[in-house]
Structure 1
Amino acid sequence: MSQTHLADRDRPPTAGRRSYRMLWIMLFGGWLFAYADRAITGPVVTWMIDNDVSFMHAAQNPHALGGLIGSLFFAGYMLTQLPSGSLGDRYGHATMLVVSFVWAGVATIISGAITGLFVFVAMRVLTGLGEGAFYSNDRALIVAHTPAPERSLGLGVAITGLAFGLTVANIAAPPLLDFGASVLGKEQGWRMPFLIFGVLTLLVSAVMWWFLRRLVGRLRPGRPALRLLGVSAVFCALIMALFWASDSLGLPEWASALAQVALALAIVFVMRRRGAFGQPRARRGGSGVIDRETLLIYVAGIAILWSIWLFGYWSVAIVSSAADSSLVEAGLTAAFNAGAGIIGFPVGGWLSDRALQRGWGRRNLLIAATVAQGVLVLLFGIYLQNVQQPSLWVMGLLLFATGLFLNAVQPMSQALTADLVRDESRGAAFGMWNLIAEIGAVASPVVSGALRDTTGSWSTAVYVDAGLVLASAFLYLGVRRTGPLARDDAGPEGGPAHGESVVASAGD
């Protein structure tokens, strides 16, 4: 094991118990700008469609094409989850976080500086490939430096930045687009949000580098950055080849999205065959990186990401279409869904920790929250379908309630995953969680957009989401194991000692 790896994952925080809370705050900022960078694509694409920007205006099904652009971003984001998690396990999770964030800032700026549909899509794919390194390493670093009784809370506090990022993107994108149109002209105004958020992301990456260097010591991003670049170049070529082939053959956008999902599943199969998930279970004592228990959690995560990016990508369009409102009014209403994460993420994490300590089990609470989310999404779809002129206030209230439970289930699921895998495999496990779960993010924007073009309404897309969420609750019932069969070492500051299992995490 390399020294970088030891310093990053195993060494206690340099400033004692206070450092892990500062780590939560720093990674909160990372999530905020990472999600703002990706979430601005939805309002920008909606603005392109409404303002007849040339390369969107020529599309026969503009909403489906707009959804495909978002799906291709997530195809890139999805494909680097597992490789970047493994690189973090080897070279250091803090190092990979810095690489990911600098990459995201540069790629977002370039997205706003280029011209042409194919190049624009390629830059969104590259942005996703770089940001794919953030999730698995963020989760693993928090788990490594946070006492076990506060682990789920830490995961929830940090990822609350996701909700702030979605909220900022929904609220800031419309005025930035108007400002861009006034400065750059109507045809070029879409560039402004990418340029502004890209520069801000680079500034935050400098602060992140400074903090993580104090936390874990010197960072050496050169070699892991080159390895990630090599992997990303291959993935980008594959994704863009599929996009080009789909466009040349005239395939529907949803078929291209399905091809991206097939590519991801093929990569999982190849990496499993090559032993990328560690030694076989019989020799390792059940690492749980990918086995029956963890696979159920990973697959259930598809519904989580589907919901996030149905509403995160299309909520502005859903509200503006249903209520016939302006883009600014729709953005403010849609922000209720994203803003719910400000409460949902930390409260969900806190409740998950309390459920574990009181013997109720993380799993049972996760099931209850998932069912509540599914019912609320179903009510939202019924409201859209049956009310002739939906109220912005009612839609905002339903979006907030839905987002509250949607965001609460994420830290619950992630903490349950951490309970089930060995310490040295957590980066790969979180990478696998997000790789499989991102199938929902890849498919959701384009399938939902295609359903909107086909039916003329967003209610069908909302019903599909409700069905997936409720189905995922049944998958959690199959999680029975309470933790890995054994651990190699004690967790940091209060983690289980050698040989102990994590008791009652599933709540059998």
Structure 2
Amino acid sequence: MILKGWQRYHTIWAMLFLGWFVSYIDRVATGPVVTWMIENEVSFMANVENPHGLGGLIGSLFFAGFMLNQLPGGYLGDKFGYRTIVVLSIFWAGVVTLLTGVIGGLVVFVLMRVLLGLGEGVFYSNDRSYIVFNTPPEKVGLGMGVVITGLSVGLTVATIGVPLLINAAEPFMGKEAWRSPFLICGIFTMFCAFLIFKFMRPNIIPGQKVDPNSPGIKEEYGKAITHMVLYAAIFLAIIMGIYFASTKLGLSNIGIAFILTALCPLLIFVVYKMKKSEVHPILFNKNLVFLYLSFIPVIWHLWFYGYWSVAIVQDFGGGALLAAALVASFNGLAGIIGFPLGGKISDKLVDKPNGRRNVLVILTVLLTISIFIFAGYVMTGNNNPVLMSIILFISGLFFFALQPVSHALLADLAPAEQRGTAFGMMNLISEIGAVLCPVVSGVLRDSTGSWGIPLLLDGALMAASFLLVLGISQKAVQRVQAKPSVS
């Protein structure tokens, strides 16, 4: 039967889109705020010897929390319900973002950013799993693309909106104007959490029998928040302990980031020892492992541009903060087209030989080429804002289009009963890129005086991603089976 008009799964897509939108505004806000602090030498960024390195470390500490809660997030969703974890994640993000604007100081700012990462870290795997559960099989790729477009919109809004909010608040808040984006975004995010709770009900046909224990149906908020707080407390203590100990020992910002990265394999080892039977199918699958590793450069690229794009454009002659933000925003705007387009194309070719994998290969190659084109353009002294905007937009099309293809391919490859955990594993491993990127790129910028080397490194890593995608065997791909609840 062909379904026409607005369906229940469309409402679910819309609510998850909203979740991506607000969560990305909350996390992306840090980059423009830090850039403004460096430019104006205010608050804890005043008189810092290596400001981009410190700013990058703040981003890396956020992503350490985000990374560590990926796998627990998928596990908690499988145990207490996907929708449950999504709602709690967005509400948590709103509260912590609001508190970031209320209290200040470097240590507290770092603490709030780590807590934000821990709260938002449980969102991804449950968002992806909830889409698969509620969406007709032939539209899974499209659904993932449409929903994750919220990332692109949130990224764009934060890139442009945060400088605007700071500029608007500066006349009456002075050097405390950096707080304004966090105050406004925190309140808005909590409101959106309420909307998601109210409207994102599971896709169930009236009178149809459903398994109440299915993670797509059940909702256990009390148990879920208890476990979330427990995991967060443990990981917060570990991350902040590393931060304080490393600072006292005088370790470099990059050294701290690599120590934080080492927590990823350590966590995988601990989880495997504790839940071997549950983790083995998604950890000892060659195709899944190649897909996990191929996404490390993807997340590196996302946060190289997401965290530093305004500073990059500004350094290469992009003008004042707001003017640079407008040019940089074209990369994020591309996702509005790229995300759903990539998902739609992969759905069309899923039954073809090498289907989704070949789509992913082509998009990764095109993205790699576009990165080197942008690097070559700006490094040779060119800074025409129109041409920079066009190159960034085209590059963004390839970048955002490949992500739903990867997600849909993982849904094809992973066992249905461990899909949430598999998405968590993918984001846990791939967030290595996010932990390292802000600080490594920032330190390279401080040491070389230019963003040229970080741009070239970004392209080289994406080329490595292409080789990893080639290693995936299409013979192992199985089409996602139909769900029992489609209306």
- Give the TM interval when normalised to the shorter protein: over 0.9
Question: Identity of paired residues, percent?
Answer: 46
The 1:277/1:138 distance shift into structure 2, 3 A limit, reads farther
The answer to whether residue 97 in structure 2 is matched with residue 97 in structure 1 is no
- TM-score normalised by L of structure 1: 0.89
Matches of 2:328 and 2:394, distance apart in 1? 12
Q: Which has the higher contact order (CA 8 A, sep 6+)?
A: 2
- 391-400 vs 331-340, which moves further: 391-400
Question: Residue in 2 aligned with 1:185?
Answer: 174
Question: Residue in 2 aligned with 1:225?
Answer: 225
CA shift, 1:229, in A, is: 0.6
Q: Deviations over 1:180-222 (max 9, x none)?
A: 2222222x11000001111110111000000124657774311
The 1:270/1:481 distance shift into structure 2, 3 A limit, reads farther
The answer to whether residue 357 in structure 2 is matched with residue 367 in structure 1 is no
Determine if contact 1:419/1:482 at 8 Å carries over to the other structure: no
CA shift, 1:115, in A, is: 1.5
Give the residue type in structure 1 aligned to 2:330.
Answer: F
Determine if contact 1:421/1:483 at 8 Å carries over to the other structure: no
- 310-319 vs 263-272, which moves further: 263-272
The answer to whether residue 450 in structure 2 is matched with residue 462 in structure 1 is no
Question: Residue in 1 aligned with 2:21?
Answer: 32
The 1:101/1:478 distance shift into structure 2, 3 A limit, reads same
Give the residue type in structure 1 aligned to 2:254.
Answer: W
Question: Residue in 2 aligned with 1:123?
Answer: 112
**2:290 paired residue among 279, 290, 296:** 296
CA shift, 1:54, in A, is: 3.0
Question: Residue in 1 aligned with 2:194?
Answer: 206
Question: Residue in 1 aligned with 2:207?
Answer: none
The answer to whether residue 427 in structure 2 is matched with residue 434 in structure 1 is yes
The 1:482/1:182 distance shift into structure 2, 3 A limit, reads farther
CA shift, 1:36, in A, is: 0.6
In angstroms, what is the RMSD of aligned CA positions?
2.0
Q: In structure 1, the residue corresponding to 2:75 is in which secondary structure?
A: helix
Question: Residue in 2 aligned with 1:6?
Answer: none
Matches of 1:190 and 1:335, distance apart in 2? 20
The answer to whether residue 468 in structure 2 is matched with residue 480 in structure 1 is no
Q: Deviations over 1:311-347 (max 9, x none)?
A: 0110000011111501110111000001111111000
Matches of 1:219 and 1:92, distance apart in 2? 5
Give the residue type in structure 1 aligned to 2:198.
Answer: W
Matches of 1:214 and 1:310, distance apart in 2? 36
- 118-127 vs 263-272, which moves further: 263-272
The answer to whether residue 274 in structure 2 is matched with residue 274 in structure 1 is yes
Give the residue type in structure 2 aligned to 1:261.
Answer: T
> How do residues 278-357 of structure 1 correspond to structure 2 at under 5 angstroms?
278=278, 280=280, 287-288=281-282, 290-357=284-351
Question: Residue in 2 aligned with 1:12?
Answer: none
Matches of 2:310 and 2:274, distance apart in 1? 43
Q: Deviations over 1:393-414 (max 9, x none)?
A: 1111111111111111110111
> How do residues 245-284 of structure 1 correspond to structure 2 at under 5 angstroms?
245-275=245-275, 278=278, 280=280
Matches of 1:113 and 1:76, distance apart in 2? 21
Matches of 2:20 and 2:284, distance apart in 1? 26
Matches of 1:408 and 1:418, distance apart in 2? 16
Q: In structure 2, the residue corresponding to 1:112 is in which secondary structure?
A: helix
Give the residue type in structure 2 aligned to 1:208.
Answer: I
- TM-score normalised by L of structure 2: 0.93
Give the residue type in structure 2 aligned to 1:327.
Answer: L
Matches of 2:225 and 2:40, distance apart in 1? 39
CA shift, 1:275, in A, is: 2.1
Question: Residue in 2 aligned with 1:149?
Answer: 138
Q: In structure 2, the residue corresponding to 1:251 is in which secondary structure?
A: coil
Give the residue type in structure 1 aligned to 2:273.
Answer: R
Matches of 2:197 and 2:485, distance apart in 1? 24
The answer to whether residue 370 in structure 2 is matched with residue 376 in structure 1 is yes
Matches of 1:135 and 1:144, distance apart in 2? 14
Determine if contact 1:213/1:219 at 8 Å carries over to the other structure: no
Matches of 1:213 and 1:448, distance apart in 2? 42
Matches of 1:266 and 1:58, distance apart in 2? 36
Matches of 1:182 and 1:239, distance apart in 2? 37
CA shift, 1:72, in A, is: 0.8
Matches of 1:257 and 1:279, distance apart in 2? 26
CA shift, 1:98, in A, is: 0.6
Question: Residue in 1 aligned with 2:209?
Answer: none
Determine if contact 1:277/1:289 at 8 Å carries over to the other structure: no
Determine if contact 2:80/2:219 at 8 Å carries over to the other structure: no
The 1:277/1:253 distance shift into structure 2, 3 A limit, reads farther
CA shift, 1:273, in A, is: 2.1
Q: In structure 2, the residue corresponding to 1:278 is in which secondary structure?
A: helix
Matches of 1:126 and 1:182, distance apart in 2? 30
CA shift, 1:392, in A, is: 1.1
Q: Deviations over 1:234-263 (max 9, x none)?
A: 101111111112221221111111111001
Q: In structure 2, the residue corresponding to 1:185 is in which secondary structure?
A: helix
Matches of 1:379 and 1:277, distance apart in 2? 46
CA shift, 1:290, in A, is: 4.4
Matches of 1:155 and 1:192, distance apart in 2? 32
Matches of 2:484 and 2:386, distance apart in 1? 46
Determine if contact 1:289/1:425 at 8 Å carries over to the other structure: no
The 1:339/1:33 distance shift into structure 2, 3 A limit, reads same
**2:443 paired residue among 432, 442, 450:** 450
Question: Residue in 2 aligned with 1:170?
Answer: 159
CA shift, 1:94, in A, is: 0.3
Q: Gapped runs of 5+ residues in structure 2?
A: 204-215
Question: Residue in 1 aligned with 2:206?
Answer: none
Question: Residue in 2 aligned with 1:159?
Answer: 148
Matches of 1:209 and 1:409, distance apart in 2? 30
Determine if contact 1:422/1:484 at 8 Å carries over to the other structure: no
The 1:279/1:241 distance shift into structure 2, 3 A limit, reads closer
